[in-house]
Chains A and B, each alone.
Chain A
Amino acid sequence: MNKKIPLAILLTATATAALAGPIEEQIRFRQSAYSFAAWNIQKIKAQVVDHPETYNKDTVAAAANAIAAVANSGLGALYGEGTDQGIGWKQTRLKPEFFQKKDEAIKIANTFNEAANELAKVAATGDVNLIKTQFGKVGESCKSCHDLIRIKE
């Protein structure tokens, strides 16, 4: 019994590492994932909010699908033990308190997933007003997570 606990920890740790790689790699991948989501969010903003005359259903739907794909990719695997310290593309901005606030963060991450999936759904319909509202909800979920677990510069 006593020997099994460290073994279990070791096994989980190896499994996580196998899925997500060492600390710096996890940080690098998650920075990339969010940057890629941001690029797509900005395309939607450009065509739906800022310059509606340039709206193109396919571009926006493709962008929304990309965001949903990021959200559904299991980003949680990139938040392993120790990833609050380290350099990916640059110094990570994950707050050390993240590990105490995990439950709250998971809740927000789920909101983000639902919002992103819904955005992909409405983007496919081409209803610009719905897209606009849903785009706002996705943005809010980005922000609430940044407020909770991301260090302010």
Chain B
Amino acid sequence: MKVTIHIWDLPHRLFHWLLAVSVVAAYITAKIGGELIDWHGRLGIFILGLLVFRLIWGFIGSTHSRFSTFFPTFSRITAYLKGQWQGIGHNPLGAISVIALLTAVAVQVGTGLFANDDIAFEGPLFDYIDKDFSDKLTGLHSTTFYILLGFVVLHLIAIVFYRFVKKTNLVKPMLTGKKEVPRALAETLAPEHTTIAFGAVRFILSLIITSTVVWGVSGGVTQLYPIQNQQQAANESTTTTVAPPAPSSF
């Protein structure tokens, strides 16, 4: 006998699918380059927003979104290895995968913000470091992507494995937010584990913090606190963003 319970709340699901779509789009725009590198940068900033939101939601989201409910602690991992783990959110292995994926995306965004393409694009924090260091981070940005790609592939393999070997559909709950579990199991759970309190206030609060961080990183801070070494900054970028109005003889 199975019952349907609510597991992933709407913000969590939106986060998931927007992240998936934007990472794919970021990859495509980076590979094509040209005019699209600007869109790569914009997508990267958007992904930064998604990450910040997810981090906040990991503390104030509904039950199964919270890191505390699924963080792969030592006792959870041992229980899982002994086949004794019980629960309906991420199991410890899934939790490790979640943390690995989020970290890899964070590294990607973190290096991207300081990167440059040596043609006509710089991440919004480029001016805060010197060109050599930016070149190093750009190189990292290109290589660490393969780590992210590896985690994504494992993620997809796990989903296929669950679908066909363990006969569990993981995709549907991430779309509908609902999951079918054995009644016996559901009855052992506290009500907050089987229903979702949406929490408009928590959601709006998260959005406000997220937009503040994104605004700050993508230019707000530079506006409020212009870079100390004006001369250096001017040499590196201002001259190029405000090019001379007309060529003179020198």
Contacts and interface: CB of A to CB of B under 8 A. Distances in A.
A136 interface: yes
Q: Which of B37, B119, B143, B244 has the most CB of A within 10 A?
A: B119
Interface residues of B, number: 25
A42 B235 CA distance: 13
A139 B33 contact: yes
B35 A46 contact: no
A105 interface: no
Contacts of B142: 152
Contacts of B136: 153
A56 B38 contact: no
A92 B241 CA distance: 28
Contacts of A146: 118
Contact of B243 (A47, A152, A153): A47
A38 B35 contact: no
B240 A39 contact: yes
B39 to A, nearest CB: 11
A138 to B, nearest CB: 8
A139 B37 contact: yes
Contacts of A95: none
Contact of A153 (B120, B138, B240): B138
Contact of A152 (B33, B37, B139): B139
A139 B243 contact: no
A59 B120 contact: no
Q: Which of B242, B244, B247 has the most CB of A within 10 A?
A: B247
Contacts of B1: none
30 contacts: A38-B119, A39-B240, A43-B240, A44-B120, A47-B243, A49-B35, A49-B38, A50-B241, A51-B242, A54-B243, A54-B245, A56-B246, A58-B246, A59-B243, A59-B244, A59-B245, A59-B247, A63-B243, A132-B35, A133-B35, A135-B120, A136-B35, A139-B34, A139-B35, A140-B33, A143-B117, A146-B118, A152-B138, A152-B142, A152-B143
Interface of B: 32-38, 117-120, 135-136, 138-139, 142-143, 240-247
Q: Rank and list the top 3 A-B pairs by shortest CB-CB distance, nearest first.
A: A153-B139, A136-B35, A140-B34
